[in-house]
A and B are shown apart, each in its own frame.
Chain A
Amino acid sequence: MSLVLTLASRNLFHDRLRFVATMVGIVFSVVLVMIQMGLFLGFGRMVTTMIDHASADLWILPKGAKCFEDPSLLDVKLRDRVATMEGVSWAVPLVIGFSDWRLERGEVTPVFIVSADLRDGSLQPFNVVDGNVQTLTQGANVAVDRSYFDRLGVSGVGSTAEIRGRKVRVVAVTDGIRSFATTPYVFVDLKNARNYTGTPRDRASSVLVRLKTDADREKALSAIRAQVGDAEVLTSEDFRSRSRSFWLFGTGAGAALFAGALLGVIVGTVIVAQTLYSSTKDHLNEFATLRAMGSSNAYIYTVIIYQALINAVIGFAIAAGIGSIVVQMTAKSALPIVITPWLMAALFALTVVMCVASGIGAIIRVVRIDPATVFMR
């Protein structure tokens, strides 16, 4: 094995204080980027959680609807027209909207009503941990997530409260259906959803469509689009993408997260560049000696690049450890940080690029070394 790695690691570890400073810079930078991007991913997942869990292939939406929570309404007759079309398995109206939840102790808190269709299974409460969702249709029953028990003033199945002055009973409890807007989702049946949100009988927020397994999807999509007039027909993937795009970029939230990540990259690059440069400057005499001995510039660059890579690997390992702790700590929070293997791989690549790019200043300094200087010292 070449001595390059040995030389690079000794150069780095020789000055422990500087090495620690470098590590702090890299870890700070990578953790900051990791959290920002993890929030971005978490946010991106959260804003599409209902779309992800609906078993629909297509969504018929009011023209220009930007996301699942969009309050626009469309004519529910579209549902009847589409349901009988060739290739369509079922079409179900969905009603959503904000409402008021009055706790037994009298406080009022806003909730987000989602109509569940239990017959066709278009969008139902998921991750059910207690109770029976089938009973949602049997009166003024609701399903809530246990993470909102305190907010809603309930303790589980059997608890009661009021929505818009109507008494409701919790019949099912879910786990992990969190709302990014912190307004709890409350699942009810379609009829109750209309009552709680004030949606007229001839209106719906959207229509969910499931295609038959043997249907020609493109053909069915074109045919449905021709039938719905002003309304829009989106595939689940398109609707997911539109929702993400609206919440992440339309609101500026994504830009803020990216700006934070960019800041992290800049801070990390500057710190690593500064410490690598100063380390190189301290070892200039050694690099000049190498040059005097006849080493090629490439050999010296390799030493510096290896220093950068060692920084990157150790810094990233520490940051990844911190990142995994943060992920665990936020798993049950309103906005969990999501770190996927791809994000991890991308962050590692970014760390390597950041550290190697930081070595450019040091390399430029080394290029100017005059090997003759070793005879003057």
Chain B
Amino acid sequence: MNDHVVEARSVEKKLGRGAGEVHALRGIDLALRRGELTLLMGPSGSGKTTLLLVLGCMLTPSSGSVTVCGTPTADADKEALARIRREHVGFVFQSYHLFPTLTATQNVQLALDIRGEHGRRAAQKARDALVMVGLEQKVDSLPGGLSGGEQQRVAIARALVANPSVVLADEPTGALDGKNGQSIMRILADTAHERERAVLVVTHDPRVVPYADRIVEIEDGLIVQERTDRPRMPTAVPFRA
């Protein structure tokens, strides 16, 4: 059976029009595999986020193809893309994007709510997801009462609670100190390895490299290097703020 959860073939993406047009992706071939944490690295403006948006069904490619769990995205309209995201993709954002007026449990539950899962069972699933990321003491806290690391863990719980096939994380450690960054990367690595999910982390933070199974480097919209010979995941705390 094919382990490729997301597959991009010859993906090109042009953004803007006329004189302002930017060729953000210039023929990307990339597959995200179940049980693997992939790092997507590159300098600013290299096309990392655009590729993440295309793989996450926020954007459709200008040419080439993307399939998510076997579903092609090329001809999908906005609602169809949303359905693919809802069914298969979990997102972790750099700025967490939690709902400030909802508790941690409700924030996580929201991911189930939009999928039509309501009520006590959904609330229990949300609490279980928070326990999984170590926030059993914070289930009723509002985001304003949580630290940055805790907020990111709520965001990860939200991304995982509906059991997506792929988790796409955009600079998940970007706003965190070393200790919290390490904690977040451990959760994402566990998600890939223990829960058998495909995890893609977009980052330019070299400290997360030890957690990767594969590192993809992108420059000017092209994959310039792909390697698996990353340093072993350390047992000691590697992050230092």
Interface residues of A (CB under 8 A from B): 1-4, 6-7, 10-11, 14, 285-286, 289-297, 299, 371-372, 374-375, 377
Residue of B nearest to A369 (CB): B78
Select which of A11, A290, A372, A375 is within 8 A of B110 by beta carbon.
A290
Compute how far the CA of A2 lies from the CA of B118 in the bound complex, rounded to whole angstroms.
Answer: 5
Contacts of B91 in A (CB 8 A): 292-293
Instruction: Choose among B49, B84, B85 the residue with the greatest number of A CB atoms under 10 Å from its CB.
Output: B85
> Contact: B118 with A372, CB < 8 Å?
no
Query: Given that A10-B102, A292-B85 are known contacts, is A4 also in contact with B113, CB under 8 Å in the complex?
Result: yes
Residue of B nearest to A294 (CB): B86
Contacts of A286 in B (CB 8 A): 97, 99
> Contact: A374 with B93, CB < 8 Å?
yes
> Contact: B89 with A294, CB < 8 Å?
yes
> Contact: A14 with B53, CB < 8 Å?
no
Interface readout for B77-121 with A: 1 if CB under 8 Å, 0 if not?
011001111110101011101011110001001110111001100
Residue of B nearest to A299 (CB): B114
Select which of A3, A7, A371 is within 8 A of B58 by beta carbon.
A371
> Contact: A3 with B95, CB < 8 Å?
no
**Cβ-closest 10 pairs across A and B:** A294-B86, A10-B101, A294-B85, A295-B114, A289-B97, A3-B113, A372-B58, A2-B118, A14-B101, A294-B82
Interface residue ranges of B148-180 to A (CB < 8 Å): 158, 170
> Contact: A293 with B85, CB < 8 Å?
yes
Q: How far is the CB of B92 from chain A (nearest CB, A)?
A: 11
> What are 21 A-B contacts defined by CB distance under 8 Å?
A2-B113, A3-B102, A3-B106, A3-B113, A3-B118, A6-B102, A6-B106, A289-B93, A289-B99, A290-B110, A292-B97, A294-B84, A294-B85, A294-B114, A295-B114, A296-B82, A296-B83, A297-B79, A374-B93, A375-B93, A377-B95
Interface readout for B43-59 with A: 1 if CB under 8 Å, 0 if not?
00000010011000011
Compute how far the CA of A289 lies from the CA of B97 in the bound complex, rounded to whole angstroms.
Answer: 7
Residue of A nearest to B97 (CB): A289
Q: How far is the CB of B41 from chain A (nearest CB, A)?
A: 16
Contacts of B113 in A (CB 8 A): 2-4, 299
Compute how far the CA of A291 lies from the CA of B91 in the bound complex, rounded to whole angstroms.
Answer: 11
Compute how far the CA of A7 lies from the CA of B109 in the bound complex, rounded to whole angstroms.
Answer: 12
> Contact: B86 with A293, CB < 8 Å?
yes
Q: How far is the CB of A299 from chain B (nearest CB, A)?
A: 5
Contacts of B87 in A (CB 8 A): 294
> Contact: B83 with A372, CB < 8 Å?
no
Compute how far the CA of A119 lies from the CA of B74 in the bound complex, rounded to whole angstroms.
Answer: 91
Compute how far the CA of A6 lies from the CA of B103 in the bound complex, rounded to whole angstroms.
Answer: 11
Compute how far the CA of A374 lies from the CA of B96 in the bound complex, rounded to whole angstroms.
Answer: 9
Compute how far the CA of A285 lies from the CA of B101 in the bound complex, rounded to whole angstroms.
Answer: 13
> Contact: B82 with A295, CB < 8 Å?
yes
Compute how far the CA of A293 lies from the CA of B59 in the bound complex, rounded to whole angstroms.
Answer: 14
Known: A6-B102, A374-B95. 7 other contacts (CB 8 A): A2-B113, A3-B102, A3-B118, A14-B101, A293-B114, A297-B78, A377-B97
Contacts of A291 in B (CB 8 A): 82
Select which of A11, A289, A295, A299 is within 8 A of B101 by beta carbon.
A11
Interface residue ranges of B20-54 to A (CB < 8 Å): 49, 52-53
Contacts of A295 in B (CB 8 A): 82, 86, 114
Query: Given that A296-B83, A297-B79 are known contacts, is A290 also in contact with B114, CB under 8 Å in the complex?
Result: yes
Residue of A nearest to B96 (CB): A289
Query: Given that A293-B110, A294-B85 are known contacts, is A1 also in contact with B93, CB under 8 Å in the complex?
Result: no
Compute how far the CA of A4 lies from the CA of B109 in the bound complex, rounded to whole angstroms.
Answer: 11
